[in-house]
A and B are shown apart, each in its own frame.
Chain A
Amino acid sequence: MQLDSEQQQGVLILKPSGRLDSNTAQQFEKDLLAQLDNNPQVVLDLAGLDYVSSAGLRVLLIAAKQVKQKAGSLALCALQDSIRQVFEISGFLSILTVCDSREEALSKVAN
């Protein structure tokens, strides 16, 4: 599990990759929340995320709540098909901003 980052149009793009399960979630939570601290506008590009379990969804939920609390905006994009299915059966597609492409996600958080 790795968390890379870059800036695009003044927005922080975070790119987690690998397997997000109950074994890797704790470190990921630490890394992700540290990145969100000073960045109100964030895109999570999940193209490199191969796997997520409920432990991983828990971290994404905490992140989304934290961003909302600080009146920031967060959008997720480029989910692999299996990851999208996990979001779907969790009901996460209706509580998070999930976009197909990074461009779309950037336009959602840039406003």
Chain B
Amino acid sequence: MTTQQITLKPDLAELATLAEQVERFGEQIGLETPLVFQLNLVLDELVTNAVNYGFARSNIENPHITIEMRREGEQLTIELRDNGTPFDPLQVPPPDLEADLQDRQIGGLGLHFVHELMDTIDYQHQHGENRLTLHKRL
């Protein structure tokens, strides 16, 4: 089993660090480039949501986002925890992908990627933290 843990400050500038770490993890576990891209996209969208909404209030003590990625056999598991405002991404309605150019909205697209690219998503709010567990079969 190969595990990697990443701790980020709630700051969009951390996305570059996240991308580097995901690439390193991908190399370690022999993930193919398209999968590294997808993993990066999923984590980027979730971290961006957390930074923009979960930590929009500035009075959160010791703000942090922790990501743990591990590969066990052909199963990839990602646990994402943050102590921002409680937010269940599973409650966000899916975007309208049929709307034409003029009516197209971007809201919900990031979470749509998460649903499309991962096999299962589980959300819990425990001990003052948002906890997301994602699985993908490799």
Contact = CB atoms under 8 A, between A and B. Distances in A.
Interface stretch (B11-19, B56-64, B75-83, B84-92): B11-19
Contact of A86 (B16, B41, B100): B41
B48 interface: yes
A2 interface: no
B12 A22 contact: yes
A64 interface: yes
Contacts of A23: 12-13, 15-16
A64 B16 contact: no
Interface stretch (A7-15, A37-45, A52-60, A102-110): A52-60
Contacts of B19: 19, 51
Contacts of B117: 89
A41 to B, nearest CB: 17
Contacts of B98: 91
Contacts of B113: 53-54, 86, 89-90
A30 B57 CA distance: 26
B101 A53 contact: no
A91 B103 CA distance: 13
Q: Which range contains the number of A residues in contact with the other chain?
A: 20 to 34
Contacts, number: 66
Interface string B40-60: 110011001001100000000
A19 B41 CA distance: 11
Given A51-B41, A53-B113, 11 more contacts: A19-B19, A23-B15, A23-B16, A55-B48, A58-B106, A61-B106, A65-B102, A81-B34, A82-B38, A86-B113, A91-B97
Interface of B: 12-13, 15-16, 19, 33-34, 37-38, 40-41, 44-45, 48, 51-52, 97-98, 100-102, 104, 106, 109-110, 112-113, 116-117
Interface of A: 19, 21-23, 51, 53-55, 57-58, 61, 64-65, 68, 81-82, 85-86, 89-91, 95-96
8 contacts: A21-B44, A22-B44, A22-B52, A23-B15, A53-B110, A82-B38, A90-B112, A95-B100
- For the complex of A and B, list the 10 residue pairs with the smallest distance between their C-beta atoms, beginning with the closest: A91-B97, A23-B12, A54-B110, A82-B37, A54-B109, A58-B106, A22-B48, A95-B101, A23-B15, A89-B116
